[in-house]
Amino acid sequence: MTSSAKKIARLAEKSKTRKPRGVRLKGGSVFPSVIIVVLALGAALIAYSRQTLEDRSAADITNATYYLSFGVYVCDQWIELPDTALTELAEVREGAELVAGQSGVVQWQPQILSGQRRAKLSAVLDLYAIKVDNDKVTFPSALNGGVTLTEDRDACDGKGGSLFVETWDVQGTDPTRKTSIANLDSVRLNNNGLAVALVFAPDGTEVDLPPAASEVELLVNSGE
């Protein structure tokens, strides 16, 4: 037998007679006990938080009242808006209403409007009996003289006129202006404190927040 073979044989023989070493944990049984307790507490906290969030979410959605500011800007100025819904409405839609005494302030219930698939700007436009297409807006007789404005180069005293909607998520993480130029009545209402402007003005016109935005901010903050 060669020397290499003898070394291998001796190693094999030692491995047979060597006693296996047990794995010892520092602290004896304390460490496993701590792990078990932590896992149990973690599971309990997860279960509790899930139940709490579910209950809170359901209650919030059911009882929530949101506010938004709405304004109509024509050519170079905001037009005056009523603080009560106009009687020329074809229907009174549940879930959205004007706040009495505060022109341009709308309160709406997200659960109701979403349930009607109407959590959109159309619910607000209905309150003012305003009708919009992609290129024209029609006002009721009690608002802005009942005129119909159509996109045209001769509109706004020859300066031209374009129809669009500006929205600001004032209370959200991204309050930057967003512009919609089509399907205007389908602009989504999704958060509390929104500012919405229906604009008919020359191309390039940038409007500020609707005049009622400061009042809505107070309403939203008072409800927090």
Q: What SS3 state is found at 176?
A: coil
Q: What SS3 state is found at 44?
A: helix
Indicate the number of domains in the chain. 2
* Residue 12: pLDDT over 60: no
Six token digits for residue 34: 């701590």
C-alpha pair distances (Å), 224 with each of 133, 191, 217: 37, 14, 11
46 pLDDT band, cuts 50/70/90, is low
Residues 153/157/163/167 CA torsion (nearest 10 deg):
140
The pLDDT score that the predictor gives to residue 205 is 94
> Is 7 among the domain residues?
no
Contact status, residue 100 vs residue 169, Cβ threshold 8 Å: no
Return the higher-pLDDT residue of 96 and 30: 96
The pLDDT score that the predictor gives to residue 112 is 83
* Residue 217: pLDDT over 80: yes
Average pLDDT over residues 45-64: 52
50 and 125 inside one domain: no
The pLDDT score that the predictor gives to residue 78 is 98
| Beta-strand runs (E) in 170-212 | 178-180, 194-201
CA-to-CA distance for 170 and 193, rounded, in angstroms?
A: 6
Average pLDDT over residues 162-177: 92
Question: Which residue type sits at 46?
Answer: I
Question: Which residue type sits at 57?
Answer: S
The pLDDT score that the predictor gives to residue 111 is 86
CA-to-CA distance for 122 and 152, rounded, in angstroms?
A: 24
Percent over 70 (pLDDT), the chain: 68
Which among 164, 151, 156 is positioned nearest to 72, based on CA atoms?
Answer: 164
* Residue 170: pLDDT over 70: yes
* Residue 55: pLDDT over 60: no
Domain span at residue 69 reads 64-222
The pLDDT score that the predictor gives to residue 115 is 72
Average pLDDT over residues 62-70: 87
Give rounded-to-5 percent helix, strand, coil for the chain.
35, 20, 40
133 and 56 inside one domain: no
Q: Give the end-to-end CA distance of the chain in Å, rounded to a whole number.
A: 89
**Final residue of a structural domain among 40, 63, 86:** 63
196 and 124 inside one domain: yes
> Is 208 among the domain residues?
yes
CA-to-CA distance for 79 and 75, rounded, in angstroms?
A: 10
Average pLDDT over residues 23-41: 61
The pLDDT score that the predictor gives to residue 86 is 82
Average pLDDT over residues 4-12: 50
Contact status, residue 200 vs residue 137, Cβ threshold 8 Å: yes
87 and 184 inside one domain: yes
138 and 216 inside one domain: yes
> Is 14 among the domain residues?
no
* Residue 30: pLDDT over 70: no
- Alpha helix segments (H runs only) across the chain: 3-17, 30-63, 110-115, 121-127, 155-158, 213-222
CA-to-CA distance for 96 and 107, rounded, in angstroms?
A: 6
Return the higher-pLDDT residue of 27 and 190: 190
32 pLDDT band, cuts 50/70/90, is low
